[in-house]
Amino acid sequence: MNAEQGSVANPYGMDEDCRNCPGLCDERETVVHGYGDVSADFLFVTERPTVPADRTGIPFDGEDGFWSVLAELSLATFDDEPVPNNAFVTHLTRCRHSERPPTDEEVMTCEPYLNAEIRMINPEFLIPVGERALTELVGEYTTARPDEFDVRDDHGRAIRGRGFELVPMIHPAEGTDADREAFVEAFADLTDRDYRQTKGRRSR
């Protein structure tokens, strides 16, 4: 599977008519695959597409707080649409049900898409956005138990993973301005201290 370097939307050409989850196929408008820089060092994962993202295919569409945080961190600029810079944004599940969150089975069914993106991008940092994403990524990419962590308690704090640093982020729809400021400060400090010292050591 090769990246289409000229596109930030679904750059790996993943199935845009996926029918693997019967309970979601008739509810969704769009299969929202990953969006961003295929050589990104920072990979953000949230539970499911927003309501606007279900129409446009742009993760976190309508969540201006998310994209403004990335802009403050120099990880996004804006044209007609947000343009990630050294960042990739994706979901546990690629389709949205209008009345409920995804089931565990739907998350498991969609996991190969997420796993493929993570393997091919090979980021320095995984950023789980929201409690559900934190639970899933801790379980899959660390040796710790998911119940050892809480997105509010661990907001902006680095967690050592298997090959990655996990940095939990409170979902912007559930956070405050103070939460946003705290994440920006913590993340900037973390990358200044750790990431810039090791950047370039690994072959990408």
Q: What is the pLDDT of residue 69?
A: 95
Residues 6+ apart with CB under 8 A from 99: none
Q: What is the pLDDT of residue 198?
A: 53
Q: What is the pLDDT of residue 2?
A: 55
The answer to whether the CB of 6 falls within 8 A of the CB of 12 is no
Please name which of 113, 43, 114, 28 lies closest in space to residue 75, comparing C-alpha atoms.
43
What is the pTM (predicted TM-score) of this model?
0.92
CATH superfamily for 22-198 is: Uracil-DNA glycosylase-like domain (3.40.470.10)
Residues 6+ apart with CB under 8 A from 159: 138, 142, 144, 149, 165, 166, 167, 168
Q: What is the pLDDT of residue 202?
A: 46
DSSP string, the chain: ----TT-SBSTT---TT--S-HHHHTT-S-----EE-TT-SEEEEESS--HHHHHH--TTTT-HHHHHHHHHTTSEEESSSEEESSEEEEESSSS--SSSPPPHHHHHHHHHHHHHHHHHH--SEEEEESHHHHHHHHHHHSSS-GGG--TTTTTT--EE-SSSEE--B--TTT--HHHHHHHHHHHHHHIIIIIHHHTTSS--
Residue-wise pLDDT tens for the chain (204 aa)? 555 557 899 999 999 999 999 999 999 999 999 999 999 999 999 999 999 999 999 999 998 899 999 999 999 998 888 999 999 999 999 999 999 999 999 999 999 999 999 999 999 999 999 999 999 999 999 999 999 999 999 999 999 988 889 999 999 999 999 999 999 999 988 887 755 555 544 444
The answer to whether the CB of 49 falls within 8 A of the CB of 40 is no
Q: What is the pLDDT of residue 200?
A: 47
Return the amino acid letter for 134: L
Residues 6+ apart with CB under 8 A from 26: none
Q: What is the pLDDT of residue 204?
A: 40
Tokens for 186, please give them.
Answer: 């913590």
Tell me whether residue 33 is exposed, middle or buried, using C-beta atoms within 10 angstroms of its C-beta: 0 to 12, 13 to 18, 19 or more.
buried
